[in-house]
Amino acid sequence: MPNLTLEYTANLPAVDLAAVLAECNRAAADSGQFTEIDIKSRAVRVDDFVIGTEAGDRGFVYVTFALLDGRSPEIKRDLSQRLQSVLQKHFIAPPGLTLQIAVEMRDMERASFIKVTHTG
């Protein structure tokens, strides 16, 4: 734990997603809240999307950061800001496109979460 899912719309300029995810993982690890090997991230391209009701060139980057419950709102806010900083550095709106970049912290119930690690 935690799990980071980065969703991004297909109309955004290409970025080095592996580098973005690695930097997000470093930002999370630097918070002191997690062991680095426990941070898992992935990127999902969204080809079909609608933003709002008006016509216009629009896109989004949305990170969901799922972590075990029990952390304070201040810790979650710090994590959100760390991730938002990484995203804003890598995702730049091209001329004419409105880009929304958001981070959501999602608590996972610690009592029911199970993880097993195998090393070969």
DSSP state of 74: H
Domains in the chain, ordered, with CATH?
3-112 (3.30.429.10)
The per-residue pLDDT for range 52-85, each reduced to its tens digit, is 998 889 999 999 999 999 999 999 999 999 999 9
- Kindly report the pTM of this predicted structure: 0.91
| pLDDT (0 to 100) of residue 92 | 94
| pLDDT (0 to 100) of residue 118 | 76
The dihedral of CA 50, 53, 58, 63: what is its sign?
Answer: negative
| pLDDT (0 to 100) of residue 16 | 98
* Nearest partner of 81 among 35, 39, 28, judged by Cα: 28
Placement of tokens 């799922």 in the chain? 66
Low-confidence ranges of the chain (pLDDT < 50): none
